[in-house]
Amino acid sequence: MAEKYFAELEGRWRQSRKTGPESMFSVPPELQRPKALRGPDLARELVRLVVLTGDVRFEDAFLALVQHRIIDRNYNFLPWDWPAARQGKKELNLVICAGIHELRSLCPSLRRACAELAAFIGWEAATFEGAVKDLELRYRRHLKTAKLEKSCRSIIPTTADN
């Protein structure tokens, strides 16, 4: 019975995943970093141009890459989200966790609540099981963080406590 139900949810997930919420934060193809571009090559070229031309704009460009954490100490590119996407993903995560929390009151298990939500919103993943597991892990991480924040607030006095 449960397998049939999950198969139906997987079918619904396959239909709705093309427009899932994560796709809102993806960078358009024309703005994505070219695959052939290497961080070390770009950084070394900027340093070379500083030395050859003495133009501080090349130095500023290099420093901007470091300050925005686009390249690491070895000049390799780091995974990078633009600030608006980072904030949107953070808010989406809170909404997702709130949705799972509400579904927990209707569903007997966390797995089923996550499966319902994954199917309804089309959560992006390679497989339906992967989408369910990802949502479950996000929810557990959120609960752990929320408990930690709550315990810290109760231990650390604030100005409102005085």
pLDDT given at position 151: 56
Contact at 8 Å (CB) between 111 and 124? no
Cβ-based neighbour number of residue 154 at 10 Å: 8
Contact at 8 Å (CB) between 72 and 17? no
- pTM of the full structure: 0.57
pLDDT given at position 136: 92
Same domain? 37 vs 90:
no
Same domain? 11 vs 91:
yes
Is residue 152 in a domain? Answer: yes
Same domain? 18 vs 43:
no
Is residue 140 in a domain? Answer: yes
Number of domains forming the structure of the chain: 2
Cα first-last separation, the chain: 57
Per-residue confidence of the chain (162 residues) as pLDDT tens digits?
467 777 888 877 777 766 666 555 566 677 677 778 888 999 999 999 999 999 999 999 999 999 988 899 999 988 876 777 778 888 888 888 888 888 888 877 899 899 888 888 888 888 889 989 999 999 998 888 776 556 555 555 555 554
Contact at 8 Å (CB) between 81 and 75? no
Same domain? 47 vs 101:
no
Listed in sequence order, the DSSP H helices in 17-127 are 39-53, 56-67, 83-104, 110-121
Same domain? 91 vs 155:
yes
Give how far the C-alpha of residue 8 lies from the chain's centroid of Cα atoms, to the nearest Å. Answer: 27
Q: Final residue of a domain: which of 67, 92, 123?
A: 67
Parent domain of 115: 2-25+82-161
